[in-house]
Structure 1
């Protein structure tokens, strides 16, 4: 097995052009997104965008468990342990590189096909969300579970969660709800359901397609039409409760929404798991998730990434992320000692302070997005 953090290939296509294939290569870590991965992907995507011989890009993860389970939060934890100055420098560089990569995918000039098989969480969803062709399989499991580690839904989620139907994005952000392929299709987080066993046949069909006559996106769509099988999707978890979820989170403020979710008596296992995750989650994270979705409901994607960068660094240096990662992945006691005992005990002034920018506009690391 290659020791490269990302494996790159250029697959020949009919007519002489090529498909750029990138494979995240850390299967034991569920392809958690390291800084080295981010830099390698960004550099290669930049080069492929300028290469006329590259017709489209395919992005996948190694192994059969995950496309990408999230960011490298263990590396963030280690940086936090080195003190505020070191943590600020490392996390600032890490998140700036990650968000720049995510923004590149959102604005990429060629088709980007993401094979979203298995676990797609946090930073993995950041890679998938902006792709032009987002493929789910029967095993796809999508979530933004930051409430469990003291962060908040970042990677552009401040922007795309707020563009879902009222209350739905907020519910997902507050509960870290896990979505299957049918849910992802219903919410616009995936475009196609393609059976996982057809991956090799799909890549072969792309290789045989004629990319010299039509726009590349049209050619990719034509091939995908032959492989899509939505009848293979699992049963919807979210859609049967759509109106109910809106009744919980589409009105009032954060504390009212949290109170309604936690007081909900419906015994559907999916709802019960979501309630438990919120009840055990970080109160400060809930306030930040709610505030960021509200702030970026009508703003630009670039502005969301710029504000997320400041807030993510502050969550590492001033917030609860270190404690959340310690409890989940370091000591594994699953007993985080959050800085606030309850959701109604988080001061509004603290939330506003964390939302304050770390850089003036003219010096922001992502000012060119």
Structure 2
């Protein structure tokens, strides 16, 4: 695309800063395959470019960094019987996630506004992860009969206590302060300071590192409320199965437990079981790349073997009737190790 107005990714350099801006503001910068390929190409080109010392990733518009991947396209590919195109998308996206996690130069990401799903894959593995008072981060995949991916299970598995299980299963959003508390972000910078921080990253030589530079602009946010709910979350979400979690939530009189229970009972039982298994497997893993491999197995299992993903996208985004027909329909119908088949699935094309 030669017209800058139409480019979905803007990649350019400003002094020693390599800048990547997602440029689909009307779609809250949702990722498609072309955008992933452009981001990867820019990052790859700058690895050996001695003029680029730091990389900044941000999003156009004021609604968010990235609302996620293009799940409507995912739905259409599976329905059309073309899961190999699904595999192509996820291999490209996960390679980009791993590249960010392992990048030899500091990557700074502004997770300002909505940063969900695929947006977490951009922001969550960067060296310097910045949130604002507008930030709303989430891994909401269970709400479409799916499971967290893009390395999200790695982050969820390292959240304090059982917060990873709670946020992974419910798809609940976190504020900027919550994201710092949970290990999804490093610094809280008021949105009004982001332009000045961009300029400083590009043109200031002192202090010498991006982390030190951010300290000139960050502030202490209002405290996260998550420590106040940690006790009942840990108690309920440490159960061995989704059914066990539901039983503990039902028996709890803690504020918030009833809401969590109501959310779980609306979601795909299979997606919940697969997600619980994935977060716990990732907790014992060695790094983002290994977590991505575990997620890839599960994602391709859904694409090839289970109807809840297509049904969840249909109900939420295609027909928008908000009446998904899950298979099975209830958590009570699930076997104890309901995540086993997805965990053991071997995709036809390897991830890496």
Bin the TM-score by the shorter chain: over 0.9
Shift of the alpha carbon at 1:79?
0.4
Aligned partner of 2:264 in structure 1 is 278
Shift of the alpha carbon at 1:324?
0.5
Shift of the alpha carbon at 1:278?
1.8
- Tell me, yes or no, if the aligned pair for 2:301 and 2:345 is still in contact at 8 Å: no
Aligned partner of 1:293 in structure 2 is 279
Q: For 2:108, what is the secondary structure of its paired residue?
A: strand
- Take 2:212 and 2:265, find their aligned partners in 1: how far apart are those partners? 45
Match of 1:122 among 117, 122, 139: 117
Aligned partner of 1:90 in structure 2 is 85
Instruction: Report the TM-score, using the length of structure 2 for normalisation.
Output: 0.93
Q: CA RMSD in A?
A: 1.9
- Tell me, yes or no, if the aligned pair for 1:174 and 1:289 is still in contact at 8 Å: yes
After superposition, what is the alpha-carbon deviation per residue over 1:241-274, rounded to whole angstroms, capped at 9, x for unaligned? 1122111112433321132235544345xx6554
- Tell me, yes or no, if the aligned pair for 1:262 and 1:279 is still in contact at 8 Å: no
Within 5 Å, which residues of 2 pair with 1:303-314?
303-314=290-301
Aligned partner of 1:220 in structure 2 is 210
Higher relative contact order (CA 8 A, sep 6+): 1
Shift of the alpha carbon at 1:313?
1.6
Within 5 Å, which residues of 2 pair with 1:254-269?
254-268=242-256
Aligned partner of 2:49 in structure 1 is 51
Q: For 1:63, what is the secondary structure of its paired residue?
A: coil
Shift of the alpha carbon at 1:140?
0.4
Question: Which 5+ residue runs of structure 1 have no aligned equivalent?
Answer: 13-17
- Tell me, yes or no, if the aligned pair for 1:209 and 1:219 is still in contact at 8 Å: no
Which has the higher mean CA deviation after the structures are superposed, 128-137 or 308-317?
308-317
Task: Return structure 1 stretches of 4+ with deviation > 6 angstroms.
Answer: none
Please tell me whether residue 171 in structure 1 is matched to residue 166 in structure 2. Answer: yes
- Take 1:182 and 1:322, find their aligned partners in 2: how far apart are those partners? 34
Match of 2:147 among 137, 141, 152: 152
- Take 1:49 and 1:199, find their aligned partners in 2: how far apart are those partners? 25
- Tell me, yes or no, if the aligned pair for 1:176 and 1:274 is still in contact at 8 Å: no
Shift of the alpha carbon at 1:286?
0.6
Which has the higher mean CA deviation after the structures are superposed, 340-349 or 323-332?
340-349
Shift of the alpha carbon at 1:34?
0.8
Which has the higher mean CA deviation after the structures are superposed, 344-353 or 110-119?
344-353
Within 5 Å, which residues of 2 pair with 1:54-73?
54-73=52-71
After superposition, what is the alpha-carbon deviation per residue over 1:109-153, rounded to whole angstroms, capped at 9, x for unaligned? 111110110011111011111100000000100111111101111
Aligned partner of 2:238 in structure 1 is 250
Instruction: Report the TM-score, using the length of structure 1 for normalisation.
Output: 0.89
In the superposition, relative to structure 1, how do residues 11 and 275 fare at CA in structure 2: closer, same or farther (>3 Å)? farther
Question: Which 5+ residue runs of structure 2 have no aligned equivalent?
Answer: none
Which has the higher mean CA deviation after the structures are superposed, 60-69 or 293-302?
293-302
